[in-house]
Structure 1
Amino acid sequence: MASEDSKKLAGEVDSDEVEVISVTKKSNTVEEANEGPAKDLVKSQIDLYKDALAYEEAEVAQRKADADQQHFLQTNEAVEEQRVKAMMLILNMRKLSRTQKVRVRLAREEALDARQSVDGVTLQLQGLLYEVLHLQKEAQRCLLAHTADKDVDLLPVEQFYEEAPPSISRPDVTRSDPHQQRLARLHWELEQRRGQTSLGEQLSSELHSVQVNISELNTKLAAIRPCINDVLQSTIPLQEALGLPLTAMRKQQEAAQLLPMPLYTLWMQCSAYSEAGDPLVCSMIRGDTDAAAKLQQQQHEEQHKTSAAAAAAEATEAAPGDADSDNDPEDSNDVSSHKSRDRSERSGRGKTHVPSSNSSSSNAAAVDPMQSSNSSSSNAAAVDPMQQMLELHPLHVEVTVSTPDGSSVVIQFHYAMQLRLVTTRTFVLAKTLPPVPGAVVYTDVLTGPDFLDELFPGDGGVVSPNPATIHQLRRLQPHSAFLHHPALIPPQLGRAYKWAQQLAGLAFPALQQEETRALKDGLVTVAEEIAHEGGTEVSSERVHVTLSALRRRLKARLVLQQHLLSLQSANSTSALFPGKVSCELVSWRPVSWQDYNALSATAALRDAGLAVATSFFFRALYQRRHVEMSAYVCVSADYPNTVPLFALDLKWGDQPCPHAHVQQLEAEVNVHWSDLLVGGTDKAHILPLMLYRLAMCLDVYTEAVSSRLNPSDAAGPLPDDSMHFHKEKIFFRSARGPDRAFPLKYLPKLRVFAQR
C-alpha cells in the first residue's frame, strides 16, 4: 500500500516536473518569438516561473519520503472514515425522501376524497336551490293567476247598487256573499254592454245616413261653386268702381293660409297697423300659391310619417323584451289590451264616437315607409345641399311704406325655411323729386342694397341673428368665401335685420350683449321722438316704431338725394352758399370704399371706427386761386341721425399745409356742427350747411394766414405778393393762444369771426 502511494507521489512529482519543463520550453519559445516592446514583460513572467520551480525543488530536497508517506496513509484513513459516514447519511436521506413521498401520496388521496364529497354536496345544494326557485315561480304564478272576469272594469259597488235593478243586484243576498255579488256585477256589466252594442249599431246607421246626406250636399255645392265664381268675377268692375276690393281681399286671405307662421305674423301685424290708423302702409302677399300649396301638402305628409314612425317606435319600446322569462308575454299583452279596451269603452259611455277623417290618411302615410324614404333620398341627392339650405318659401310678404308726397319704399320679406329666419329686399319709388338739370334720377343712397342698414343702432343685416346659421352653412361649405365672418348671411338671401325678425315673431338670443343694449337704446330713442311728433296709437308699439323709422329713413334719404344731386349738378356755388364766399366748390363726386381706405387723410377716422364700409363716401374739391382743399365726406347710413364726418387734405400751391391747421378746420366742421341747427333748422339739411361752413372756414383760413405772414418771411408758405389774399372777412386777431387758433367761429349778432 505504501509502495503504491509512493509510486503515485513519484508519478505526480514527475508530471509536475514535466509540466514545469514544458512551461519553460514554451517560455523560451515565447521569449524568442516575442521581440520588441513586450520582451521585458515576457522575461519577467519567465523569471517568476523559474523562482517557483526552484522553490519546489528545494522543498522536495528538504522533506523526507517516509514522513510524507506516513502522512499520506493517515490522510487516506481519515478520508475513508469520512466517506463511510457520508454514505450512511446519504442512505438516511433516501429513506426520508421515500417516506415523504408516501405521506404526500396519502394526503393527496385524502384531499381528493374530501373534494369529491364536497362537490357532491354542492351539486345536491344547487339542485335543491333550482327546485326552490321553480316552486317559487309556480307559487307566484298561482298567486297571479286570474280569470277573464278580472279583466273587466266593473262599476264600483255603491254605484252598482244605485243603478242596477233589484232583480239583478239582489241586495239581500249579494251584500253578505262576495261571490254572488261578483256574479251580479258581471251580469249587470253584460246587460250594459248589450245595450251599448245596440246603441252603437243605431248610431252607425245614423252616421251612414248623415254621410250620405253630406255627400249629396257636397255634390250640390260643387255644382254651385262655378256659378258663384262667375258671379264674383262679374262683380269685379263694380268692386273697383265702389272701392271695395273684396276679391283681392279674399285672395289674400286664401294665400295667407299658405304662409309660414313668421310671415303670417308679420302680414297680420302690418295689416292691422294699416287698418288701425295708417292708410299709407300696405301689406300684400305675393308669390307662387300653387308651389306653396304643394309645399304645405308635403310638409303635412312628412308630419304624418314622422308621427307614425314615432308611434311605431313607442310601441316597440313598450313591448316586453325578456324572452327567457317563464311568464307568457302573449298573456300579458292580452291583459293590457283588455284593460285598455275596457277603460276606453267605460270613458266613452253615453258619448257618440265619430271616426276621424285623418285616420285613413295617417294609415295610408304609414303603409310603406321604405318607399317614402327612398323617394326622399333620391330627391335630396338630385338637389344641391347648399341650394336646398338657402331655399326660400314660394310666398313672400311685400310691405309698402309711403310718404304723403307720393314716394314709397317697398320691402319684400322672405322666409328661409332651413335657416329659419326672415330676410328682406328693398326697393324705393321716388315720384315727387324736382327735376335737376344734368343729374341722374337715382343715386346709391336710394338704390343700394344697404338702404335699411343701421335703421336701429348695431343692426346691419349682414349677420344672422340665429346662432345656428353659422353651423348649418359651415357643415355644407366649410371653406366658402362668405363664411369668414362668424355668421355672415349669403348675399343672395338679402339682409336679415333684427327688427324684421321681431316683426315676424322670431326670438333669437343676442349674439353680443352690447348690440342688444344698443338696439334697445335705439328703440327707446325713436319711440321718444315719435311720441313728441304725435300720431295714432296702435296696438303694437313695435310695429309702430319700426314702420315710423322706415318712413323717416325714406324721407331722410330723399332729402339727402336731392342735396347730392344739387351738389353734383351745380356749376357755381352762388346757389348753394348764400352770401359772399370767395372759394368755389369745383367738383363733387362719389368715392369708393377702397379709394377712401387708401387715403392717408382718412386714417384717423378709420382707426377710430367712425368710417365703415356701409357708409357713403364723397369728395368735395374747394378751390380759391392757388389754395386747394379736398374734403372727403363720410355720410353714415343712419343719416341724418349721425352727422357726416369730414377728412381734409389742404394744399397751398404745391406745398401741404401744416397738420395743426388742418386739424383746426376738421374740428370746426366735425365737432361744432350743432351750431348750424339753431332756429329750428331741420337736421336733414345738415350736409349742405356743413359744406357751407367749410367754405367759409377756408376763406377765413386763407385770409388769416395771409395777414399773419409777410412775403419776405422765409418760414411762411407765401413766396410773393401774388399769392396774398386780401382780408374780406371781419376778424380782430388772426391767431390766438399757444396753439395759434384761427378765428373760425362766426358770431351772427356781431357778424364777425373769432376764436373759440
Structure 2
Amino acid sequence: MQASLPVQEYLSMPFEQTQKQTEIARHLPPPLYVLFVQANAYGQACDKNLSVSINGDVDEAKALSKPPEDSQDDESDSDAEEEQEKTKRRRATTGGQLEEKRREMLKHHPLSVCVDLKCKDGSVLHLYFFYLMNLNIMTVKTKVTTPTDFSTAISAGDLLSSYTLLNCLYVGDQGKETPNPANRYQFDKVGIVSFADYVGQLGHPYMWVQNLGGLHFPSDGSESVCVGSSLSASHMEATMKFLRARVQSRLALQKQFASLEHSIIPVSSECQNLVPAKIITRLARWTTTTYQDYLELPYTKHVTDAGLAKESDLYFMGVVERGTARLYAAVVMSPRYPEIAPLFSVSLSWKGERTGRTDDNLRAIEGEVNMFKHELQGPRPGHQLFTNQMARLCMCLDVYLETEGQDDSVEGPREFPREKMCLRTVRGPNRLKPFKYNHPQGFFSHR
C-alpha cells in the first residue's frame, strides 16, 4: 500500500486515504455520518470539485462511544455525591454551576465534517459541520480562500464573513435560532435567552444544515416527513448549487466594491449599450452603513414602511456628485443578490434638499434604477446588475441637471451645459424628464 501511493496520487484514486476516512467515519454521530456518506456519494456521482474530510480527535470520539465500566459505578456515584455536597456548601450562588451546565449543554462532538467546494475561478468554500450532542442539532462555520489576494475593500468586509455569507441561502433561513423545539425547554433550565448569542462560537444552525444531516424537526408548515439519508439526498444537489452561486456572487461584489472605493464604476463590455459613452457625474464616496443608521435616514421611510429593509440585509451609502449638486444614495442589498435586486433611495442636495417624496423626477430616477432589472442584469447570472444600477444613477443625474431651466437673472455660462440629446426636455403635468437612454441612436426619451 505504501509503495502504491505515487500511483494512487497520479490516478487520483487515493485508496489509503479513503480507507482511513471510512475507518474514522464509524465514530461519527448519526447526523454527521449521514452528511459524510451523502456528500461523498454526490461528489463521486455529480461533482468532482467537491471533497469531504473528517477532522477532530478520534480517541476522544472512541471514548464517548465506550460504555462506562460497571465495577466503578457505585464508587464514582458516591464520590460524585460527596463532591456535589461540598460544592453546594462552598458556593453561595449558582452562577458558576449554571455556566458549567451551559458549557456542557452546548458541547459539540469531537469529530466534525469538512466539505470543500471548489469554484471555476479557483476559489474554495470550506464548510465545517459540527454536531451539538445535547441539543441534537448541527451547525456550520465557513471560510473562503481565493487563488489571488483581492485588494480588500473596506466596504466589502461583511461579504465573505462567516456570520453573513450563507444568510438566507433559502428564503427566511437566517440561522440565528435553533430549529429544534425541544431546545427551548433545555435553554430555560440553564438561563440561555437566545441561541443567537452563541452563533459566533458554535456556528449557524441553518435549516438546510439539518436537512443535509437527515435531521427533521416538524413545524406547523411541514407536510411530508422524510428522515435520514433520503432527506439528505433530496436536498444535497440544490444546496450545493446555491452555495456555489452565493460564493461567486459575493466574490463578484467584492471586486466591484474595490473599484467603487476608488471612484470607478466598472461597466462590463456586454453592458456598454446601457449608458452613453460620456457620463460627467462621478462617484465621490462609497461606504458601508448599518441597519439602524439606514432607518434614521428621512428619505428611506417609504422602504422601511413597506417592509423591504430587513436586519438580515446589507446596507451601503453612495454619494455621486456633479458641480455643486450632490446625490446621496442609500442602498439595501439582499443576501440573495443578484436574484433580488439592490434597492436605492435617493436624496439630492442642490438648491435645497430634495427627495423622491418631494420631487417627481427624483422618484422617476429611483424607478429607473430599481425597477428595470431585466434591462440592467447583463449576462447571466447577473453579477453586473449592481454596477449597472450605479452607472444608470450617474447617467440620470446628468439628465436631471442638464434639463433644469436656466435662471435668466444670472449672467455667465450655465453650470450644467446641455450635452445629452433629448427629444423633449419635459412632459406632462409632473414635468417629468427623459431618463430612458436609446442605444445606438444616443438620445434620451420618456418611457
Q: Output the TM-score relative to the length of structure 1.
A: 0.51
Q: Which of residues 731, 744, 747 is equivalent to 2:422?
A: 731
Return closer, same or farther for 1:731/1:504 CA change in 2, 3 Å cut-off. same
Whole-Å separation in 1 of the counterparts to 2:80 and 2:44: 44
Secondary structure, aligned partner of 1:551: helix
Partner of 1:477: 191
Question: Which amino acid letter does the alignment assign opposite residue 279 of structure 2?
Answer: V
> Residues 94-493 of structure 1: matches in 2 within 5 Å?
236=5, 239-240=8-9, 243-297=12-66, 300-301=67-68, 365=70, 370-374=74-78, 384-432=100-148, 443-477=157-191, 480=193, 482=194, 490-493=199-202
Counterpart residue number, 2:92:
none
Q: Secondary structure at the match of 1:640?
A: coil
Counterparts of residues 541-690 of structure 1 (less than 5 Å)? 541-570=234-263, 579-656=277-354, 658-677=358-377, 680=379, 682-690=381-389
Contact 2:32 2:213 in 1 (8 A): yes
Q: Structure 1 stretch 401-410 or stretch 665-674: which is displaced more?
A: 665-674
C-alpha contact (below 8 Å) 1:735/1:741 kept by paired residues: yes
1:45-100 deviations in Å (ceiling 9; x for gaps) = xxxxxxxxxxxxxxxxxxxxxxxxxxxxxxxxxxxxxxxxxxxxxxxxxxxxxxxx
Structure 2: distance between partners of 1:490 and 1:574:
38
State the 1:404 CA deviation: 2.3
Q: Which amino acid aligns with 2:371?
A: V
Query: 1:422 and 1:404, CA in 2 relative to 1: closer, same or farther beyond 3 A?
Result: same
- Tell me, in whole angstroms, the C-alpha distance in 2 between the residues paired with 1:249 and 1:379: 46
- Pairwise CA distance, 1:684: 1.2
CA contact (8 A) 2:266 2:387 kept: no
Q: State the Cα deviation string for residues 519-548 of structure 1 (Å, max 9, x = none).
A: xxxxxxxxxxxxxxxxxxxx9342111111
Q: Which amino acid aligns with 2:403?
A: A
Q: Which amino acid counterpart does residue 728 of structure 1 have in structure 2?
A: E
* Counterpart among 673, 686, 701 of residue 400 in structure 2: 701
Distance 2:199 2:377 in 1: 41
Larger relative strand fraction: 2
Q: Residues of 1 paired with 2:267 and 2:413: CA distance?
A: 25
Partners of 1:674 and 1:421 lie apart in 2 by 40
What is the deviation of 1:681? Answer: 5.4
Aligned residue identity for 1:568? E
- State how far apart, in whole Å, the 2-side matches of 1:251 and 1:627 are: 67
- Structure 2: 5+ residue runs without aligned partners? 88-96, 224-231
CA drift of 1:607 comes to 2.5
Cα deviation, residue 491, structure 1: 3.6
> Which residue number in structure 2 is paired with residue 15 of structure 1?
none
Instruction: Write the letter of the residue equivalent to 2:59.
Output: D
Residues 296-355 of structure 1: CA distance to partner in whole angstroms, max 9, x if unpaired?
11xx34xxxxxxxxxxxxxxxxxxxxxxxxxxxxxxxxxxxxxxxxxxxxxxxxxxxxxx
Letter of the 2:171 counterpart = P
Larger RCO, structures 1/2 (Cα 8 Å, 6+ apart): 2
Provide the C-alpha distance between the structure 2 equivalents of 1:415 and 1:282, rounded to a whole number of angstroms. Answer: 19
**What is the CA-CA distance between 1:723 and the residue it aligns to?**
5.7
1:660 Cα deviation from its structure 2 partner? 3.1
- The verdict on how the C-alpha distance between 1:739 and 1:440 changes in structure 2, with shifts beyond 3 A counting, is closer
Q: Structure 1 573/261 Cα, relative in aligned 2: closer, same or farther at 3 Å?
A: closer
Instruction: Tell me: CA distance 1:466–1:681, structure 2 relative to 1, closer, same or farther (3 Å).
Output: closer
Distance 1:371 1:737, change over 3 A: farther
**1:338-392 residue CA offsets vs partner (Å, 9 max, x unmatched):** xxxxxxxxxxxxxxxxxxxxxxxxxx63x67544544666899778001011111
Q: How many residues align?
A: 420
Could you tell me the percent identity over the aligned residues?
32
Letter in 2 for 1:506: L
Cα distance change of structure 1 residues 466 and 457 upon mapping to structure 2, 3 Å threshold: same
Taking the aligned partners of 1:490 and 1:724, their CA distance within structure 2 comes to 54
Deviation at 1:403, TM superposition (A): 1.0
Q: Judging changes above 3 Å, is the alpha-carbon distance between structure 1 residues 375 and 284 closer, same or farther for their aligned structure 2 residues?
A: farther
The verdict on how the C-alpha distance between 1:572 and 1:545 changes in structure 2, with shifts beyond 3 A counting, is closer
Deviation at 1:552, TM superposition (A): 1.1
Of the two, which has the highest radius of gyration? Answer: 1
* 1:748 alignment partner in structure 2: 439
Residues 1:573 and 1:651: Cα distance change in structure 2 (over 3 Å): farther
Give the match's secondary structure for 1:473. helix
For the residue of structure 1 that corresponds to 2:383, the secondary structure is helix
d(CA) in 2 for partners of 1:572, 1:399: 36
Deviations 1:412-459 (A, max 9, x none): 0100111110000010011157x65x8579742113421011111111
Match of 1:508 in 2: 217
- 2:200 corresponds to 1:494: no
The 8 Å contact of residues 626 and 723 in structure 1, kept in 2 or not, is answered as no
Q: Relative to 1, partners in 2 of residues 1:689 and 1:262: Cα closer, same or farther, differing over 3 Å? A: same
- Name the CA distance, whole Å, in 1 between partners of 2:83 and 2:10: 49
- The structure carrying a bigger helix percent of its residues is 1
Deviation at 1:406, TM superposition (A): 1.1
